[in-house]
Amino acid sequence: MKRKDRFLGLYAQFEPKLILLQMICHQILYYCGLTIFYLIFDISFGVRPHFGQFFHASIYDFSHTYGVIAMIANFLNIFVMIVGLIFITEKGNKVLDFVLTVYFFHFIICAFYTGTIFLGWSWFIFNGSFAVATILLGEYICLRLEQQEINLQGLFSPRGGVICEKLKSNFVGYYKRVKLFEGLFTPAGKKDKKEEKIEINNRSELVELRNIKVDSLDSISPGVKMA
């Protein structure tokens, strides 16, 4: 396999549509979580909700109430992101990519909203801290869930035996269908080397059996043969 194929992740069944869908789900979940927390704390603190809470560069200014609300809402949104990583991403080795993608697109939107790339040190420090915390906790939880032992005790129960039989029958049926499908595209006169060796061995065994029978008949005395 070429290096380009390895880079594209073909070893891990690279599926661009699935990855794009997961990215969209994480981005929507990120803003949905922020929206819920902003509404809750805006109502609790008695301030007016506005669109700048999401994308304004100076939102983390603690001299006003909006800065405190932004800090609390983004901190609690970490756990919403982790839940999304558990059920959408599921793999610990993909957590870093998806979390950085979410915060990267958030940075792009904030830059367009404010009209500048440099959003201020406070914005980069707080969002960088939230991203690192999400990555560390998300990877830890996802890896722990991946390393959980599979409970095989139920397979040895009466119901588990039925499940095993169904799995076995499904596997056998799948194997037969694959063989049938391969046979449709195999030329009539073409056979695998293994099949040819098996046929040759079977023929040699038949020849040996015939020779043994002939030798055994020759070794029998004429009187016994007549009898």
Q: Report the pLDDT averaged over residues 132-161.
A: 74
d(CA 128, CA 192): 58
What are the pLDDT digits (tens) for 15-24? Answer: 888 899 999 9
pLDDT of residue 25: 94
pTM of this structure: 0.60
Q: What's the mean pLDDT when you consider all of the chain? A: 75
pLDDT tens-digit map of 99-117: 999 999 999 999 998 888 8
CA-wise closest residue to 53 among 63, 68, 44: 68
* Residue 7: predicted pLDDT: 38
Place 225 in a pLDDT band, splitting at 50, 70 and 90.
very low
Q: What is the domain partition of the chain in residue ranges?
A: 3-146, 168-226
For residues 67 and 195, give the distance between their C-alpha atoms in angstroms, rounded to a whole number.
Answer: 75
**∠180-185-191 over CA atoms, to 5°?**
85
Look at residues 92, 101, 111, 110 and name the one whose alpha carbon lies nearest to residue 131.
101
CB atoms within 10 A of CB 80: 17
With contact defined as beta carbons under 8 Å apart, do 67 and 60 qualify? yes
